[in-house]
Amino acid sequence: MKILLLFAFPIIFIACSPPKVKNQNKTETAVIAIKNFEKSLKKTDTGYKAITLKINQQDSILLKRIYFDKKDYSNYNYAFIRNGKTIYLDKKYKFIEDSKYNRLIKNGQKIFLFLEIDDRPNFNRIVAYSLFKDSLTFLVDCVYNDKKTRRGTCPIY
């Protein structure tokens, strides 16, 4: 009987002891590290490249993102800045910064600004603005087909 108690007591002690914490702490640490990494990705806007378009040798227009929350860089508007002065604030569209369709076109005394917007999964879209000395006026938002879809011609080449 004493022998049985000697063997049974350690088994009961092992069965009643709390689980090892080392592996659990490593798992929790890994989860916390992943969450911190995801948060750090939101804090830095690495994919952003401001749109700069030259009007002439002296003038240029810059499209710059304005963020509302320093912790979440997915919430922003675009400010149109001409020679350091904000002339328009766009709250509706998300522009594609590296699009080949972003350009200024001069027609006599008028200057038109064309920008491609991100409208996934729908068709490609372009917005047009008329640029004046100290202001910018929205003209149109249109859908277009580019050469790759084989359904029409490119609007600008």
Return the closest-CA partner of residue 116 out of 72, 57, 51, 62: 51
How many CB atoms are closer than 10 A to CB 58?
Answer: 7
pLDDT of 101 strictly over 50:
yes
Are the beta carbons of 63 and 95 closer than 8 angstroms? yes
The residue among 33 and 50 whose pLDDT is bigger is 50
The residue among 2 and 77 whose pLDDT is bigger is 77
d(CA 9, CA 156): 85
pLDDT of 88 strictly over 50:
yes
Q: Which two tokens stand for residue 117?
A: 């917007």
Task: Give 116's DSSP letter.
Answer: E
Question: Distance of CA 74 to CAs 7, 15, 19, 129, Å?
Answer: 63, 51, 42, 24
Provide the CA 61 distance to its chain's centre, in angstroms: 21
What pLDDT is attached to residue 21? Answer: 47
> Tens digit of pLDDT for each residue in 31-43?
565 455 444 433 4
The residue among 157 and 72 whose pLDDT is bigger is 72
Confidence of residue 128 (pLDDT cuts 50, 70, 90): very high
Q: Which two tokens stand for residue 112?
A: 């038109």
Strands 60-69 and 72-82: antiparallel
The pTM (predicted TM-score) of the whole model is 0.59
Q: Which two tokens stand for residue 57?
A: 């040798």
What pLDDT is attached to residue 37? Answer: 44
Confidence of residue 139 (pLDDT cuts 50, 70, 90): very high
Q: What percent of the chain has pLDDT over 90?
A: 5
d(CA 132, CA 72): 33
Residue type for 72, please? D
Please state which of the ranges 57-61, 73-77, 141-145 shows the lowest mean pLDDT: 73-77
What pLDDT is attached to residue 60? Answer: 84
pLDDT of 97 strictly over 70:
yes
- When mean pLDDT is compared over 36-45, 100-109, 137-146, the highest value belongs to 100-109
